[in-house]
Amino acid sequence: MILNSKSRLPVREHASLFLSWMTMLMVFIAVLSLVGLMALTNLIDSWNRSISGSLTIQIPTYTIQGDSRGDAVQQDIDRTIDLLRQTPGVEDVTVLDETQMSDLMEPWLGASEKITDLPLPALLDVSLDDSQPFDFVAFKNQMQEAVPAAQVDSHRVWLSHLIETARAIQNMIAFILFLLILTTSFTVIYTTSSSLALQAPVIKLLHMMGARDTIIAFQYAFFNFLKALGGGVVGFVLALPIIWIASTLFNPVQDPLFDAARLSADQIYIVLAIPLMAALFAFVAAFLTILKTLGRLV
Amino acid sequence: MRNPLSSAPVVDFHRVHLKYENGPNVLKNIQFSLERGSFHFVTGDSGAGKTSLLSLMYLDQRPTAGRIHLFGQNLSEVKRTQMPKLRRRIGVVFQDFRLIDSLDTFDNVALPLRIDGMKETEIQKRVNELLAWVGLEKCVHAYPESLSGGEKQRIAIARAVINAPDLLLADEPTGNVDDAMANRILHLFLELNKMGTTLVIATHNHGLIRQFKKPQLHLSNGVLECLPAPFEAPSEIVSNAPEFLGGNHDFEF
């Protein structure tokens, strides 16, 4: 039996006002946290993609020996290749030969130049295995020990540092979000219990009049749902200007680095669902609490 | 709802004891039966156990010991899911009224019908008719806090009888009304009784007991004594109670 609006459970408005306020606040913080978390996750994924796939290592020539492809250079190349072979996540290593170097330099030096006469560094093209993690920072440190003069793509290392920092922030936001969900859960349960104490005489009366436990619980829980949904929607709307301001600050046109932070359609749906999820939680919490209370009656 | 062929007593107590936690026995070895259509007063001094006896009948608590049959069903064997149906057959007038403050008069009285799933049009008809009869037609949209004790009591009575229950339990139902209204209310109860409703009324009002000459369940220190009706009950009683309660509208009360 679904009671109509006239016959819904007579609950006191002020008893559940606290629930609306709490849900509003929690949803407000949750939306901001989740949007931040999602944007950061997107950025990290994007940065990860940009540093995956391949890597270039430069080994400079030693002009004092008068031979740019001398033994010392070859030893550095060998040591680098050995190190790469021992490093997880490395798929293949290719040392660029003269033809490849000529092709690479052609736009600047022209086709006829003999590049062997120039003090160009030896270039190692490293293919990375996407299915395995590759630790840029650790690899760079190892390279500095093994071949101090070698240069690993510095922007990638810088980006990997950025990723590490971003991941730390990501974990922190995730932890805050977890705490928030936990706090919200306890708050909703506590609010429901407190409110139930005020409603107890009414609920007991309905029980004695022959209303089924599930109907009483449903009515009360549905009221809780509406109150929480109302508060949640307000909290969501209040969070929108802040998200807009943040997105303006990281405008992709001004800084392409943050372009990938845009939320996908699926992520937007998840954020949109936060007020509904909070309201559903309030519903379930109230429903179970009331059923438990009614279960203690005869 | 009603089974006229049922010969089982509406209420049957067998060696019932009731004891509250860490307290003395409130009711001791209570044993009685109430046939369908019977009318009993529950009498006794304050604290004798009248309200506790009624609370066992309206299923607010279980006995500490003994067996209670209600409408022929052993309560200890009735499943929890079947209890609401039993409860809907019982109307209760509480001593403290227990009106819902957030509902107006109409919605308070309509509550049992809504719990029963009655159509709103029928609810409107019944509630307005009954409220007019108990003289509360001007208070239809008033909230309990703005009403007098007598008005609240009439609402509580209207709520208890609105669905013409099989068993009506009333705890001091005339305690806050004047004699004329008390008489009127008792006649409504008699109308219900005439239709087959079993009535149990706890009261201190000896005037009513003398006037209506019904048997008594007399409690003294938790022990029950069944006293017969002092004199023969009055013959046919008619009143202008609402038609759905069996009232005779041609009669000017």
Q: Which residue bears the tokens 């922007």? A: A155
* Structure confidence at residue B252 (pLDDT): 33
* B13 in A contact zone (CB under 8 Å): no
Contact list in A for residue B61 (CB cut-off 8 A) is: 298
User: Inter-chain contact B107–A6, Cβ cutoff 8 Å?
Assistant: yes
B202-206, Cβ contacts within 8 angstroms, sequence gap of 24 or more: B202/B41, B202/B42, B202/B43, B202/B50, B202/B51, B202/B53, B202/B54, B202/B95, B202/B169, B202/B170, B202/B171, B202/B172, B203/B41, B203/B42, B203/B43, B203/B172, B203/B173, B203/B174, B204/B43, B204/B46, B204/B172, B204/B175, B205/B174, B205/B175
* B65 in A contact zone (CB under 8 Å): no
User: Inter-chain contact A206–B92, Cβ cutoff 8 Å?
Assistant: no
Phi, psi at residue A54, to the nearest 5°? -150, 170
Residue B248 has pLDDT above 60, yes or no: no
Instruction: Name the residue facing B60 among A3, A12, A208 (closest C-beta).
Output: A208
What six digits make up the tokens of A51? Answer: 């540093």
* Structure confidence at residue A156 (pLDDT): 66
How far apart are the CA of A181 and the nearest CA of chain B, in angstroms? 33
User: Inter-chain contact B120–A211, Cβ cutoff 8 Å?
Assistant: no
What six digits make up the tokens of A168? Answer: 């730390």
Q: Which H or E run contains B94?
A: none
Q: List, for residues B57-99, the tens digit of each pLDDT value.
A: 999 999 999 999 999 999 999 998 899 999 999 999 998 889 9
* A12 in B contact zone (CB under 8 Å): yes
* Structure confidence at residue A115 (pLDDT): 63
What six digits make up the tokens of B185? Answer: 């209310």
How far apart are the CA of B81 and the nearest CA of chain A, in angstroms? 8
pTM exceeds cut of 0.80: no
On whether the CB atoms of residues B85 and B59 are closer than 8 A, the answer is: no
Q: List, for residues B89-104, the tens digit of each pLDDT value.
A: 999 999 888 999 888 9
Can you tell me the distance from the alpha carbon of B131 to that of B140, in angstroms, rounded to the nearest whole number?
A: 7
- Mean of per-residue pLDDT scores for chain A: 80
> What structural domains does chain B harbor?
11-245 (3.40.50.300)
Q: List, in sequence order, every residue forming a beta bridge with A246; answer none if it has no partner.
A: none
> By percentage, how much of chain B surpasses pLDDT 70?
88
* B226 in A contact zone (CB under 8 Å): no
Q: Which of residues 156-185 of B touch A (CB under 8 A)?
A: none
Instruction: Name the residue facing A205 among B83, B85, B100 (closest C-beta).
Output: B100
Chain A residue whose CA is closest to B159: A209
* Structure confidence at residue A6 (pLDDT): 46
> What structural domains does chain A harbor?
14-48+162-295 (no CATH), 53-133 (3.30.70)
Q: B238 CB contacts (<8 Å, ≥6 apart)?
A: B248, B251
> By percentage, how much of chain A surpasses pLDDT 70?
82
User: Inter-chain contact A6–B87, Cβ cutoff 8 Å?
Assistant: no
User: Inter-chain contact B84–A212, Cβ cutoff 8 Å?
Assistant: yes
ipTM over 0.90: no
On whether the CB atoms of residues B103 and B120 are closer than 8 A, the answer is: no
Contact list in B for residue A11 (CB cut-off 8 A) is: 102
* b/e A42-72 (16+ beta carbons within 10 angstroms → b): bbbebbeeebeeebebebbbbeeeeebeeee
Confidence of residue A154 (pLDDT cuts 50, 70, 90): low
> What is the C-alpha R_g of chain B?
18
Can you tell me the distance from the alpha carbon of B96 to that of B152, in angstroms, rounded to the nearest whole number?
A: 9
User: Inter-chain contact A208–B87, Cβ cutoff 8 Å?
Assistant: yes
Q: A264: which DSSP letter?
A: P
Mean pLDDT of B127-143: 89
Mean pLDDT of B175-197: 80
DSSP letters, B147-207, are S-HHHHHHHHHHHHHTT--SEEEEESTTTTS-HHHHHHHHHHHHHHHHTT-EEEEE---HH
User: Inter-chain contact A206–B115, Cβ cutoff 8 Å?
Assistant: yes
Chain B residue whose CA is closest to A2: B117
Can you tell me the distance from the alpha carbon of A273 to that of B187, in angstroms, rounded to the nearest whole number?
A: 59
For the CA atoms of B148, B150, B155, B160, what is the dihedral angle to 10 degrees? 150
Confidence of residue A173 (pLDDT cuts 50, 70, 90): confident
> What is the C-alpha R_g of chain A?
31
